[in-house]
Structure 1
Amino acid sequence: MKSKLRNLLLRFLPDTAQILGVGLGGYIGVATGEAMGAALGGVSGEVIGRVSKDLIERILSEKEKGRIEFIGYYSEIKIRKLLDSGSSVREDGFFENIDEISFADEIFEGVLIKAKNAYEEKKLPFIGNLFVNSVFSSISTDDIHQILNLSDQLSYNQLVLINIIQSKIAGFMKIAEMSEVKITDDKIGLYYNLIELQTKGVILDIHNEGDLAITGDRTVDFKGCALTRLGERIYKVLSLNEIPLEDIERTMRIIT
Structure 2
Amino acid sequence: MTDDRTSDDAHDRLRRIVDEGAQIVGGASGPALGLLSGDPALGVVLGGTGAAAASALRHIGQEFVDRFLGPRERKRVGAVIAVIADDLHAKLSSDEPLRDDAFFDPGLRGRSDGDEVAESVLLKCQREPEEKKVPYMGHFFANVAFRPDISALMAHQLAKHAEQLTYRQFCLLNLATYQQSHHRLRSEDYRGQKNFTVELLQVLYELLDLYNRGFINFGGEVAFGPTDVKPGSMRTQGLGSHLAVLLDVSGIPDDDLTPIVAQLSVPSDSAT
Class of the TM-score when normalised by the shorter of the 2 chains = 0.7 to 0.9
Q: Relative to structure 1, is the Cα distance of residues 144 and 42 closer, same or farther in structure 2, using a 3 angstrom cutoff? A: closer
Q: Relative to structure 1, is the Cα distance of residues 22 and 204 closer, same or farther in structure 2, using a 3 angstrom cutoff? A: same
Indicate which of 231, 234, 237 corresponds to 2:240.
Answer: 231
Matched, 1:90 2:99: yes
* Structure 2 match to 1:60: 69
Cα RMSD, aligned residues only: 3.3
Matched, 1:105 2:115: yes
* Structure 1 match to 2:155: 144
Cα distance in 1 for residues equivalent to 2:33 and 2:203: 46
**Structure 2 letter corresponding to 1:117:** R
Q: Counterpart of 2:231 in 1: which secondary structure?
A: coil
* Structure 1 match to 2:169: 158
Cα distance in 2 for residues equivalent to 1:40 and 1:68: 17
Question: 1:41-86 CA deviation, whole Å, 9 max, x = no partner?
Answer: 7538964686357645542011100111111111111111111111
Question: 1:155-211 CA deviation, whole Å, 9 max, x = no partner?
Answer: 0001101110112x24432226x3245571231110110121122221223322xx3
Q: What TM-score does the superposition give when structure 1 sets the normalisation length?
A: 0.78
Q: Relative to structure 1, is the Cα distance of residues 31 and 172 closer, same or farther in structure 2, using a 3 angstrom cutoff? A: closer
Give me the identity figure in percent: 21
Cα distance in 2 for residues equivalent to 1:38 and 1:51: 15
Q: Relative to structure 1, is the Cα distance of residues 96 and 42 closer, same or farther in structure 2, using a 3 angstrom cutoff? A: closer
Q: Relative to structure 1, is the Cα distance of residues 85 and 151 closer, same or farther in structure 2, using a 3 angstrom cutoff? A: same
Question: 1:75-122 CA deviation, whole Å, 9 max, x = no partner?
Answer: 111111111111111101111113111011011111110110111000
**Structure 1 letter corresponding to 2:116:** E
Structure 1 residue 222: deviation in Å?
2.5
**Structure 1 letter corresponding to 2:114:** A
Contact 1:18 1:24 in 2 (8 A): no
Cα distance in 2 for residues equivalent to 1:18 and 1:237: 30
* Structure 1 match to 2:51: none
**Structure 2 letter corresponding to 1:201:** G
Structure 2, unaligned runs of 5 or more: 1-6, 40-53, 266-272
Question: Mapping of 1:139-218 within 5 angstroms?
Answer: 139-167=150-178, 169-175=179-185, 178-180=187-189, 184-185=196-197, 186-208=199-221, 211-212=222-223, 214=225, 218=227
Question: 1:24-47 CA deviation, whole Å, 9 max, x = no partner?
Answer: 5973999678x8698567538964
Q: Relative to structure 1, is the Cα distance of residues 174 and 26 closer, same or farther in structure 2, using a 3 angstrom cutoff? A: closer
Contact 1:94 1:104 in 2 (8 A): yes
**Structure 1 letter corresponding to 2:196:** T
Structure 1 residue 225: deviation in Å?
2.2
Contact 2:11 2:37 in 1 (8 A): no
Q: Relative to structure 1, is the Cα distance of residues 252 and 213 closer, same or farther in structure 2, using a 3 angstrom cutoff? A: farther
Contact 2:231 2:264 in 1 (8 A): no
Q: Counterpart of 1:21 in 2: which secondary structure?
A: helix
Q: Counterpart of 1:63 in 2: which secondary structure?
A: helix
Q: What TM-score does the superposition give when structure 2 sets the normalisation length?
A: 0.74
**Structure 2 letter corresponding to 1:247:** D
Cα distance in 2 for residues equivalent to 1:39 and 1:184: 52
Q: Counterpart of 2:145 in 1: which secondary structure?
A: helix
**Structure 2 letter corresponding to 1:248:** L
Contact 2:28 2:83 in 1 (8 A): no
Question: Mapping of 1:70-89 within 5 angstroms?
Answer: 70-89=79-98
**Structure 2 letter corresponding to 1:107:** V
Structure 1 residue 146: deviation in Å?
0.7
Q: Relative to structure 1, is the Cα distance of residues 43 and 173 closer, same or farther in structure 2, using a 3 angstrom cutoff? A: closer
Number of equivalenced pairs: 234
Contact 1:166 1:227 in 2 (8 A): yes
